[in-house]
Amino acid sequence: AFHPLHARICLRIKSPGRAALATILILLVLVAIPITVLVVSASGQAIAAAQFIKQKSAEQGGFSNLLIGWLQQPLQYIGRYIDVSQYNLRSEITARLNAGSVKLLGYGAALLQNMLGFLGSMVLALFAAFFFFRDGRYIRELILDTIPLKREQSEKLLSAVTDTIMANVYAIAAV
């Protein structure tokens, strides 16, 4: 997908290694900036929400008291129709908060694992892309010479495979 960009860079930078490095740096900027903006925005919103909850819970004497305060009015309304005196709201909320915190910790660990996996995959992909950009013509010729078909058939096959891969890349980007 970025080969036309690399071809333009090759016209300006004659060294294949430097041209490949410039292309990779541009790819890194095109990918890293949007991801960084999204992560910073999402983390800023999460921090603001956490600070809001912390402030409100401090005003109420703790998070469980905050929740009980939020639920008092709906419970009084429900209490007109159902006997809720037999339920210990404070212990239920505390138990649910404990279970929720354990689950939240698991989600946080999974998120961190996924982010590290994504970063590792991105580094590997950029590393491979560098060599494909730098040695692409040589690799293409090696593949064409290795395929046990006539040169014309090999070029058609490689062209079809390239078109299929590009179609997949565009489809993934569109989704």
Burial annotation 39-62 (CB, 10 A radius, 16+ → b, else e): eeeeeeeeeeeeeeeeeebeeeee
Specify the pLDDT at position 21.
Answer: 92
| CA 67/CA 79 separation, integer angstroms | 17
Is residue 70 predicted with pLDDT exceeding 90?
A: no
Instruction: For residue range 111-161, list pLDDT tens digits in order.
Output: 778 877 877 888 898 898 899 889 988 988 898 888 898 999 999 998 899
For the whole model, what pTM was predicted? Answer: 0.58
Specify the pLDDT at position 60.
Answer: 60
Reading the block at residue 111, the tokens are: 């998120």
